[in-house]
Amino acid sequence: KQEVTQIPAALSVPEGENLVLNCSFTDSAIYNLQWFRQDPGKGLTSLLLIQSSQREQTSGRLNASLDKSSGRSTLYIAASQPGDSATYLCAVRGGQNFVFGPGTRLSVLP
């Protein structure tokens, strides 16, 4: 059974810092991995999707990497802003549905 963990559970940084969020999964037989952000009480917003054949994806200040063999993905956020404050979730697809991690709650202080 696939299990997904995220470290740290919560993170507080001053504005402008570069930061890394971590996602680990136990079964490396995945089709893809997707990063989302979720604002309090809201649905999920897709940030980046990495197919199993890819090593990384970039969108603006975000860069996500995938190392299937070690069961890890990282989300790098450059020059963080207060608007980046949210919960960040990773989800892996192994089959027809996604398995989500519990998320990292990020606070960027002005």
Partner 1 sequence: DTGVSQDPRHKITKRGQNVTFRCDPISEHNRLYWYRQTLGQGPEFLTYFQNEAQLEKSRLLSDRFSAERPKGSFSTLEIQRTEQGDSAMYLCASSPKLGRGFYDEQFFGPGTRLTVL
Residues lying near partner 1 in the complex (CB under 8 A): 4, 31-32, 34, 36, 41-46, 49, 51, 53, 89, 91, 93, 95-103
Least spacing, CB of residue 16 vs partner 1, in Å: 28
Least spacing, CB of residue 91 vs partner 1, in Å: 7
Task: Please tell me the distance from the alpha carbon of residue 35 to that of residue 90, in angstroms, as a whole number.
Answer: 4
Task: Please tell me the distance from the alpha carbon of residue 24 to that of residue 22, in angstroms, as a whole number.
Answer: 7
With a CB cutoff of 8 Å and minimum separation 6, the contacts of 41 are none
Q: Which is nearer to partner 1, 36 or 77 (CB)?
A: 36
Question: Cis omega (within 30 of 0) on the bond before 8?
Answer: yes
Q: Which is nearer to partner 1, 33 or 77 (CB)?
A: 33
Instruction: Say which residue the tokens 């197919």 belong to.
Output: 51
End-to-end alpha carbon distance in the chain: 41
Least spacing, CB of residue 79 vs partner 1, in Å: 25
Least spacing, CB of residue 57 vs partner 1, in Å: 11
Q: Which is nearer to partner 1, 9 or 79 (CB)?
A: 9
Ramachandran angles phi, psi of 82, nearest 5° = -55, -30
Q: Which is nearer to partner 1, 14 or 96 (CB)?
A: 96
